[in-house]
Amino acid sequence: MSDGQKLAIGRWLLHNKASLPHGHFGPWLDKQEGLSRSMASQCMRLATGWRHDASQAGSSTGPVPHLGRA
């Protein structure tokens, strides 16, 4: 799966998560065939700009720094 596909899936997942009541996203996600929770998490991190690989940003818990900011 390409990064572009993961990004699109992540955006779709975030949209659906926002539209569901609290506590309903996990069960909804479990019904999505062919999409594991770990892949969903990876796609959503990509869509929100969070890095998973600590070696890329120095931390796996913060957002990707925006380039061009003063």
Q: For residue 51, what is the DSSP state?
A: -
- Given pLDDT bands bounded at 50, 70 and 90, which one contains residue 1? confident
- Helix-strand-coil percent breakdown of the chain, rounded to 5? 55, 5, 40
Q: Tens of pLDDT along 6-59? A: 999 999 999 999 999 999 999 999 999 999 999 999 999 999 997 555 444 444
Q: For residue 64, what is the DSSP state?
A: P
Q: Considering the domain boundaries, does residue 69 fall inside one?
A: no
- 3-class SS of residue 13: helix
Q: Considering the domain boundaries, does residue 67 fall inside one?
A: no
Q: Do 52 and 45 touch, CB atoms closer than 8 A? A: yes
Q: Considering the domain boundaries, does residue 65 fall inside one?
A: no
Q: What is the pLDDT of residue 58?
A: 46
CA distances from 9 to 33, 56, 68 (A): 13, 22, 27
Domain tally, the chain: 1
